[in-house]
Amino acid sequence: MEKKEQLEQLHRRMIEEIQDYAIILMDTDGTILTWNKGVEKIKGYKAEEIIGQNFNIFYLPKDRQEGLPRQLLDMAIKEGRARHIGRRVRKDGSIFWGSILITAIHDDENNVVGFTKLTRELRDNEIE
């Protein structure tokens, strides 16, 4: 295996193995393209259940109706990233507090071509 291939494989596995953070790669519409073990641990979804879904699935119905997921993507486009602390929904319907960071990914011409979304579950003493 070439050194570049080895590095790419190691990088991919590094992200896949992280469990304390849900790390998702999304396209420009918020469709989930990749998943890591943290998504399963924090949100309850296996890769085959969540890849291809829109990330708005993690938001409360009220937040979806008010357009919060799209607003966060728009903020990331405008400012490079968007941070938010709020209630999120697990696969089983239970609700948890999460801290998220959405970062815009740019091509060589500085066009937004996708997003990374990092989510960490917050404990009661971390919520302000």
pLDDT of residue 51: 95
Return the structure tokens found at 12: 């991919």
- Quote the CA–CA distance of 31 and 25 in Å, as a whole number: 8
pLDDT of residue 4: 87
- Per DSSP (E only), the strands in 4-111 are 22-26, 32-34, 81-89, 95-106
pLDDT of residue 128: 60
- Cβ atoms of residues 88 and 98 within 8 Å: yes
- Cβ atoms of residues 28 and 111 within 8 Å: no
The DSSP element (H or E) to which 115 belongs, if any, is: strand 112-121
Amino acid letter at 121? E
Query: What is the pTM (predicted TM-score) of this model?
Result: 0.88
- Averaged over successive runs of 10 residues, the pLDDT of the chain (128 residues) comes to 87 83 95 92 92 96 97 98 96 95 97 96 74
Count of CA atoms in the C-beta half-sphere (13 A) of 74: 5
- Quote the CA–CA distance of 114 and 8 in Å, as a whole number: 19
Count of CA atoms in the C-beta half-sphere (13 A) of 50: 28
- Cβ atoms of residues 36 and 16 within 8 Å: yes
